[in-house]
Structure 1
């Protein structure tokens, strides 16, 4: 009985951690964890989810566990996989131990998009949004290249240096430098259009959206934490662009 309760808590926390680390909203995480517990016979479970930690306990016993949430990325494939496994468990197609093993496999083996495809997509997003925001087709290819390079720099810095928001700062610094250089070499017309388009893959749109959804759902702490993180990310991008303009203005 003790082992089953411990396994239940571990399974619920693992499901919640996977969802939180990959872009899910807090209310969806709590709902999934509570449903897994209810389908195991623990309808009185208590869960408390924040942007950096998950807490869960069972009213029928004194067992409670805490799980840290470290990285926060966007991988909807993992969220879909957790939801699918939760529904299969509710339909009695999986045992609790099988659900736990399946969640571990999802967390370790669920593929993401390949790195070249991510870079290519960043370039496409940059150039198409530049056109939508009023840019000219002459700037399409430079924006595509600058957006791809900026996204590449962000990923590289994040892997090499474990400092939050430094990747966004460095990427925007490179984007601003390349945009100014492209205009000076007459490879593009408008610096503003290049920069606006190229920084779009870096903008924390999902974090901002989830922040508002959490706040509207009553999860004020998580919503404010995510909102603060999104603000700092946007600030890092803005400071990077402002820095390169300041340096260029000082040199000229």
Structure 2
């Protein structure tokens, strides 16, 4: 592998990891450009989209492409790539060492255990119910936590079983509605609206909406619009799942 190919491969790997982790596009551009500049290529050309990255350097006539097949939220990976980029800028890592470390980040980054994610979804549902209801409804808090945890568990499991986008959000929201409705009917909750509002929040694509606006403000109009539409469709899928409950139950 030539030096140019190694540099482009390293830049594309860093950019793909950041996009898959939920980073903003301008941050991806900046990181890839800085890696190229610190490697001696001051005129690197980078073009990023949510589904693919293009990169080229002036010393090579070729342009390399890296597809982005999945996107999620993993800020640990984004932070680690930024830290490795700073180490490379400080000459603490060579270019081959940087590539090896990025491969380790891509394959072996520790993540919170699934049971802890479900528990956090339940806690988040309870606190957000308090915020949106503007009252400490102690009677509905346990049901909101249970419904939020169930909905997130179903959403995560369905996401692993299918590659069809927005199906997981719809089914997860449907389970939130079912759990909330069943809890109210059984007497362990009394305000269905408050419970659903809190329990559905872990499914809402808040980071995607924020990154979409930040990308558009930074001038990345294509990425901003694409991410915004993705977030809107996710919100619509969640709304469909909840609407089914109110329509038929």
TM over 0.5, shorter chain: yes
Deviation at 1:244, TM superposition (A): 1.8
Deviates more, 1:178-187 or 1:232-241: 178-187
Kept in 2, the 8 Å contact 1:176–1:244? The answer is yes
| Alignment correspondent of 2:102 | 103
| Alignment correspondent of 2:127 | 128
Kept in 2, the 8 Å contact 1:131–1:137? The answer is no
SS at match of 1:47: strand
Kept in 2, the 8 Å contact 1:204–1:230? The answer is yes
Kept in 2, the 8 Å contact 1:154–1:170? The answer is yes
| Alignment correspondent of 2:5 | 6
Superposed counterparts of 1:165-176, under 5 Å: 165-176=166-177
Kept in 2, the 8 Å contact 1:44–1:60? The answer is no
Superposed counterparts of 1:173-212, under 5 Å: 173-212=174-213
Distance 2:22 2:175 in 1: 27
Please report the TM-score for the alignment, with normalisation by the length of structure 2.
0.97
| Alignment correspondent of 1:238 | 239
Distance 1:44 1:90 in 2: 16
Runs of 4 or more off by more than 6 Å in structure 1? none
Figure out how many residues of one structure are paired with residues of the other and give that number: 247
Deviation at 1:108, TM superposition (A): 0.6
SS at match of 2:97: helix
Q: Cα RMSD over matched residues?
A: 0.9
Deviation at 1:64, TM superposition (A): 1.3
SS at match of 2:154: helix
Kept in 2, the 8 Å contact 1:154–1:168? The answer is yes
Distance 1:146 1:168 in 2: 14
| Alignment correspondent of 2:21 | 22
Distance 1:73 1:29 in 2: 15
Please report the TM-score for the alignment, with normalisation by the length of structure 1.
0.96
| Alignment correspondent of 1:163 | 164
Deviation at 1:243, TM superposition (A): 1.2
Kept in 2, the 8 Å contact 1:166–1:236? The answer is yes
Deviation at 1:157, TM superposition (A): 0.7
* Unpaired runs of at least 5, structure 1: none
SS at match of 2:64: strand
